[in-house]
């Protein structure tokens, strides 16, 4: 029994000593980090928060980070430049509260907390990587997105191209990760800007198919009786893809401008086969038409986008646009100033003719190809006489042919017509007709009829 009591007493003493030692150890680590505790690669074991904070600040202030691109170091950043000379007290306090001071094994329970301190919210670090990125990208190649391009008459998806420009946000993240892992280098290529669109894009593949279909259509423009086929190469040059198939309106307008320059009749000098003087050259007048370029271009764009063969007539304005391709045609009024005579041809046949009085020398009737743009009865014609006085002449029939006040009308005040009478007794520019003849001419001539004065 005595031996047993001795043994038991010994065990009790050992246990009390162990408990006491363990209690002292636990109390010691209430305010200190357990052995082998690491924060951002820095050993803070057996240190208080204050001591650990000082160790971390010293470590990062004196540390540096290399940014490596391939075999080249593009920059070396100090801890200060990265804003790492910061206060870790709050984070260290949080970490200390999480450790178990009663732990039996510091190695097991004192885990590394290396990713808990540094974040991309570090404004100095973000600013540094942004400034560095801007500098480096000045001489670097940007990535190129995959796109649809014309190739041998068809459209194909051109593969994207990698570049070596750097994404500032990605670089900031890579630097943060490296610092948090206590790495000495950052591989810059991991922060390269990547193409946003790749050749695997279903949208691009669909676009290539659509553009190829459009590029193969037969597109024709109708101008009077002429059909103009838009060249395939020109049509292709108008096409592109940007969130859908696009047809360049500006380029189509340039094409319609070419058509206008070739086919417009307004403002052009004409040859005319006259009744008595053979073929004569007649200057431009009010007669003629022009292609409405923007309206025509918009219509063509709409047709092209349908992706089907088409024939689209131009939009136009003016006079003399005929579906048979004729210009003056076979129905017209002819005023021969030299012979002081007027003729009306209908469908190629002479219907009416009469001697007339045109403008006196100095107030000559303007020569040109004009047209009857209005018809009015009982019109009072006003203007100035040679002496500056006003005149007001009443005409029973009035057909203006230009926009300056010149027209065809009856002139009851003229005692005679034809010959040289106009030289001293001519009009102020209008074509004076006998009253009885003008009544017939007025009834026979429709609006829009060409009037050739030469």
Closest by CA position to 225, among listed 143, 324, 365: 324
Residue 45 has, within 13 A of its CA and on its CB side, a CA count of 13
Is 361 domain-assigned?
yes
What is the number of structural domains in the chain?
Answer: 3
Kindly give, in sequence order, each residue whose CB lies less than 8 Å from that of residue 435, ignoring residues fewer than 6 positions away. 396, 410, 411, 412
Closest by CA position to 239, among listed 186, 300, 285: 300
308 and 375 fall within a common domain: no
Strands (E), 50-184: 64-69, 72-78, 147-151, 154-158
Q: Strand pairing partners for 227? A: 222
Is 132 domain-assigned?
no
- How many residues does the structure list for the chain? 454
349 and 311 fall within a common domain: no
Is 313 domain-assigned?
yes
Closest by CA position to 56, among listed 79, 77, 35: 79
Candidate list 27, 28, 322, 430, residue with the active-site label: 430
Q: Strand pairing partners for 397? A: 377
Q: Strand pairing partners for 220? A: 229, 311
Would you state the pLDDT for residue 107? 33
Is 58 domain-assigned?
yes
Would you state the pLDDT for residue 4? 57
Q: Measured between alpha carbons, how far is 239 from 110 in angstroms, rounded to an integer?
A: 66
Model confidence, pTM: 0.66
313 and 360 fall within a common domain: no
Write out the two tokens for 368: 């040109």
CA-to-CA dists, residue 334 to 78, 327, 405, angstroms: 95, 15, 19
Closest by CA position to 220, among listed 233, 212, 230: 230
296 and 352 fall within a common domain: no
Instruction: Look up 430 and say whether it is catalytic.
Output: yes
Candidate list 28, 59, 341, 409, residue with the active-site label: 409
Rg (alpha carbons) of the chain, rounded to whole number: 48
CA-to-CA dists, residue 377 to 394, 395, 399, 438, 442, angstroms: 10, 7, 9, 11, 9
Instruction: Give the domain CATH number at 295.
Output: 3.10.20.800
Report long-range pairs for 88-94 (Cβ below 8 Å, ≥24 apart). 88/39, 88/52, 88/53, 88/56, 88/57, 88/117, 89/49, 89/50, 89/53, 91/39, 91/116, 91/117, 92/39, 92/44, 92/49, 92/52, 92/53, 92/56, 93/49
369 and 289 fall within a common domain: no
Instruction: Look up 27 and say whether it is catalytic.
Output: no
Phi, psi angles (nearest 5°) of residue 227: -115, 120
* H or E, element range at 352: strand 349-355
Supply the range of the domain harboring residue 427: 332-453
Task: Decide if 127 contacts 109 (C-beta within 8 A).
Answer: no
260 and 354 fall within a common domain: no
| Each residue's pLDDT expressed in tens, for the chain with a length of 454 residues | 555 554 554 545 454 444 444 555 556 788 998 888 888 778 899 999 999 888 888 877 777 899 999 999 999 998 888 887 667 888 888 888 888 766 543 332 333 343 334 544 588 899 999 999 999 999 999 999 999 888 877 899 999 999 999 999 999 999 999 987 878 999 999 999 999 999 999 999 999 999 999 999 999 999 999 999 999 999 999 999 888 889 999 999 999 999 999 999 999 999 999 999 999 999 999 999 999 999 999 999 999 999 999 999 999 999 999 999 999 999 999 999 999 999 999 999 999 999 999 999 999 999 999 999 999 999 999 888 877 788 899 999 999 999 999 999 999 999 999 999 999 999 999 999 999 999 999 999 999 999 999 9
96 and 7 fall within a common domain: yes
342 and 305 fall within a common domain: no
336 and 446 fall within a common domain: yes
Kindly give, in sequence order, each residue whose CB lies less than 8 Å from that of residue 132, ignoring residues fewer than 6 positions away. 67, 74, 75, 77, 171
Residue 79 has, within 13 A of its CA and on its CB side, a CA count of 18
Is 41 domain-assigned?
yes
Kindly give, in sequence order, each residue whose CB lies less than 8 Å from that of residue 15, ignoring residues fewer than 6 positions away. none
Cα dihedral 360, 363, 368, 370, rounded to 10, equals -100
Would you state the pLDDT for residue 315? 98
Is 109 domain-assigned?
yes
Would you state the pLDDT for residue 102? 65
Domain boundary among 293, 318, 343: 318
Give me the DSSP letters along 77-109.
EETTTTT-----HHHHHHHHHHS-TT-S-HHHH
Is 195 domain-assigned?
no
Strands (E), 193-348: 219-223, 226-229, 239-241, 245-247, 270-273, 279-282, 289-291, 310-313, 316-318, 332-336, 341-346
308 and 340 fall within a common domain: no
Instruction: Give the domain CATH number at 362.
Output: 2.40.440.10
109 and 8 fall within a common domain: yes
313 and 336 fall within a common domain: no
Is 164 domain-assigned?
no
End-to-end Cα spacing for the chain = 155
């Amino acid at each position: 029994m005595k031996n047993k009591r001795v043994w038991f007493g010994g065990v009790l003493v050992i246990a009390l000593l162990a408990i006491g030692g363990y209690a002292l150890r636990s109390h010691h680590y209430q305010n200190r980090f357990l052995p082998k505790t690491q924060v951002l690669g820095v050993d803070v074991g057996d240190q208080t928060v204050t001591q650990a904070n000082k160790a971390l600040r010293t470590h990062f202030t004196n540390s540096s980070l290399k940014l490596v691109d391939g075999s080249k170091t593009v920059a070396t950043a100090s801890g200060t430049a990265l804003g790492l000379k910061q206060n870790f007290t709050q984070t260290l306090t949080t970490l200390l509260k999480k450790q178990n001071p009663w732990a039996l094994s510091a190695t097991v329970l004192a885990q590394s907390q290396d990713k808990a301190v540094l974040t991309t919210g570090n404004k100095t670090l973000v600013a540094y990587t942004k400034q560095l990125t801007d500098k480096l990208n000045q001489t670097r190649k940007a990535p190129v997105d995959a796109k649809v391009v014309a190739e041998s008459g068809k459209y194909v998806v051109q593969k994207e191209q990698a570049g070596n420009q750097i994404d500032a946000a990605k670089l900031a993240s890579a630097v943060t990760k490296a610092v948090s892992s206590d790495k000495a280098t950052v591989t810059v290529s991991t922060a390269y800007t990547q193409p946003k669109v790749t050749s695997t894009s279903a949208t691009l593949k669909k676009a290539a198919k659509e553009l190829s279909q459009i590029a193969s259509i037969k597109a024709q423009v109708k101008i009077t009786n002429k059909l103009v086929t838009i060249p395939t190469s020109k049509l292709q040059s108008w096409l592109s893809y940007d969130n859908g198939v696009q047809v360049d309106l500006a380029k189509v307008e340039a094409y319609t401008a070419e058509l206008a320059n070739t086919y417009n009749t307004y403002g052009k000098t004409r040859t005319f086969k006259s009744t008595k003087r053979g073929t004569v050259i007649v200057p431009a007048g009010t007669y003629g038409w022009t292609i409405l370029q923007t309206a025509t271009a918009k219509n063509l764009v709409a047709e092209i986008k349908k992706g089907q063969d088409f024939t689209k007539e131009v939009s136009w304005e003016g006079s003399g646009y005929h579906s048979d391709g004729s210009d003056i045609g076979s129905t017209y009024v002819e005023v021969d100033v030299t012979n002081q005579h007027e003729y009306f041809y209908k469908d190629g046949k002479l219907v009416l003719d009469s001697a007339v009085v045109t403008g006196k020398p100095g107030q000559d009737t303007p020569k040109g190809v004009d047209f009857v743009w209005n018809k009015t009865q009982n019109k009072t014609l006003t203007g100035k006489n040679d002496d500056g006085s006003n005149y007001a002449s009443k005409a029973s029939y009035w057909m203006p042919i230009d926009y300056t006040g010149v027209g065809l009308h009856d002139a009851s005040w003229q005692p005679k017509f034809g010959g040289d009478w106009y030289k001293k007794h001519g009009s102020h520019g209008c074509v004076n007709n006998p009253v009885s003849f003008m009544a017939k001419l007025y009834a026979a001539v429709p609006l829009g009829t060409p009037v050739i004065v030469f």
